[in-house]
Amino acid sequence: MASNVPEINYCCEICGLEGLSEDELRTHTNNAHIEGQGVCPFCQLSAVSSAELLLHVNQAHLDYLTPELENNMGFIDDASPSDYSNSTNDENHFSPSLPCKSQKCNNINLNLSSKSILNGDISPSKSSHGQGSPLRTSLNLKLRSPVPLLHCPMCRYTSVSPDELEEHINRQHFDLTSPSFGGCTGEVFSCPLCFKGFDTAPDLELHVNIEHRDILSPASPSKTTCPVCSMVLNNENDSEEAARHVESHFPAGSPLQVDKATLREREQREFELLRAQYGMDNQGNFREQSVTNMQRAVYAGEMSVSDYYERTLDLRAAESCGVDDGSSVTCNLVAKVRGFSNNSQNIVRILTCTCVDHYASSYGDRGWGCGYRNAQMLISSLLTHTGYNDKLYKLWQGQKPPRSSVPSISRLQNLIEQAWSQGFDIQGSEQLGSRLVNTRKWIGATEVVTLLSFLRIRCLLVDFHTPTGPCGTHPELFRWVLKHFENSAVGDFTPPLYLQHQGHSRTIMGVEVHRDGTIVLLVLDPSHSPTQMRQLLDISSGSTAMRLLRKSEASMKARQYQVVAVVGMIDSDQQYQQSKILRGLRIPQDR
């Protein structure tokens, strides 16, 4: 007689995987959470050991694990912390305000025995948590008296005391941004938080106090701002006085009265800050910023004096010949990336460019040079093709450097100015004042198209001007990139793609297709340091470092993206003249 007992499905209490039978749950728990590597139940972090997973949960998701959200801790099937409220264990207590003196010290006790975990009251064998679940007691959280943990914005120091955090910043991060620290004439003071530059230390201090007050003063109470004039009202002002101030802008029987001089001055100040952010203030250049930031690195102990003078000489040599010094380049990435992708069981297809080198931001262009660095990545790939190499070698105009030489940022600025003088992208030239040399002005996708067209390399500019998926995603962008690499794979050479969005640009070196049909882009970011990129060359750390490259639809939610694709060479004079007017493809197409 057949049994009518319905089949019971189980859910993994650690990672939330559902629809498992009892045997499947046992196998999954053993493989994924005991013998294998853990997965964070709150985010997509994986490929880490259980000790690292405990450390990650306690640091990154501390706000989630609070007494107010006790019901959210159901995945940690442990006895209630109230059972142990009467016990004390001073040896395992950790004060976040005091720095650790040993690498083994952290806020998660990873080596506690069953007796020290539960103070000898309850054995772990008697608890009901799963074999792969982290013990709530091993997290060592202050669940009964939570104190907000304050983080230093410039290092990993943490403290529960605002005064201690302020003292730490003043003592440990005192640098040239202080007005009491003298500087030489003509020096550019860069903000350590957003890399904006200022002529004087008082201007920099004013910028930091205004724009970054929430970071530098985490314990300061929220201030009331007038919705009309944006004036910050003092904390001493009560609500009635604030209301009277707002009502003063709306006298009975008269139109809106605003101090036009104050408003005009504030708008001018904001406009100047915006110009400085995009390098439009004509203050500083690659060489000056390099020297300033290297001096700051010497003061901070990050660079020796001998290294400073050696890098200065290399900088002068590179600027004089126009060839990049190669201090930020990482080569031979494509073969390593393809190997890691092919060894992944979840990936069914991998398409990459033929070759590309990664160029990272350096002391001289940090904060504004991403467009130039991505142009260098694209050129490094084109130089390996005979036809494109012949076109690019003409940019040296009489000089005879090695044919594999990549132009420096200053040389790229000079070439774009030459293209403008020949009539390329007149509108873009006017927007940037027809000047790039010796400035920190940003460039984007249109300037890269102008540069390559000037060198007789044909490009396609694709504008993904609006999201095409839910939650601001761009599935059309991912499908277009996949199709582009599929079509390019039939040829003998596939260059990478230049990717631009608001405030930043990157380089697409390839695309992965996962077993469930998900498309993931492989993206090189100039903001990643050479140290980070060299992890991809090491077999032991390469699989983990692939997280730096992989970008899913959920992580690409900018309002607009532009892609530059190299599609051939310009052979005729007619095509060359037509390329002076930029034309692009809009996706989705306007109706």
Choose, from 33, 168, 525, 528, the residue flagged as catalytic: 525
Choose, from 370, 474, 484, 528, the residue flagged as catalytic: 370
Amino acid at 417: E
Contact indicator for 305, 298 with CB cutoff of 8 Å: yes
* CA 419/CA 447 separation, integer angstroms: 10
Choose, from 212, 465, 504, 514, the residue flagged as catalytic: 504
* CA 252/CA 254 separation, integer angstroms: 6
Whose CA is closest to 553, among 442, 499, 441, 478? Answer: 478
- 52: tokens are 């690292």
* CA 487/CA 332 separation, integer angstroms: 24
- 137: tokens are 């007691």
* CA 31/CA 25 separation, integer angstroms: 10
Whose CA is closest to 497, among 281, 352, 344? Answer: 352
* CA 588/CA 153 separation, integer angstroms: 40
Residue that has been written with the tokens 């890269």 in this structure? 448
* CA 420/CA 430 separation, integer angstroms: 9
In Å, how far from its chain's centre is CA 392?
31
Beta-bridge partner residues of 329? 359
The CA distances from residue 156 to 98, 153, 405, in Å, are 12, 8, 39
- Residue 124 gets the label, from left (phi > 0), alpha (psi -120 to 50) or beta, of alpha
The CA distances from residue 298 to 276, 302, 363, in Å, are 26, 6, 12
Catalytic site residue 465?
no
Contact indicator for 176, 201 with CB cutoff of 8 Å: yes
Catalytic site residue 207?
no
* CA 167/CA 392 separation, integer angstroms: 54
Contacts of 70 (CB under 8 A, 6+ apart): 143
Signed CA dihedral, 91, 93, 99, 100: sign only: positive
Query: Three-state SS string across 338-379, please?
Result: HHHHHCCCCEEEEEECCCCCEECCCCCCCCCCHHHHHHHHHH
Whose CA is closest to 196, among 183, 212, 184? Answer: 212
Residue that has been written with the tokens 């200065």 in this structure? 312
- 443: tokens are 């460039």
Amino acid at 555: S
Q: How many C-beta atoms lie closer than 10 Å to residue 447's C-beta?
A: 27
Whose CA is closest to 147, among 125, 134, 165, 173? Answer: 165
- 127: tokens are 């608890």
Query: Three-state SS string across 45-65, please?
Result: CCCECHHHHHHHHHHHCCCCC
* CA 357/CA 343 separation, integer angstroms: 22
Catalytic site residue 370?
yes
- 445: tokens are 């996708």
> Catalytic amino acids?
370, 504, 525
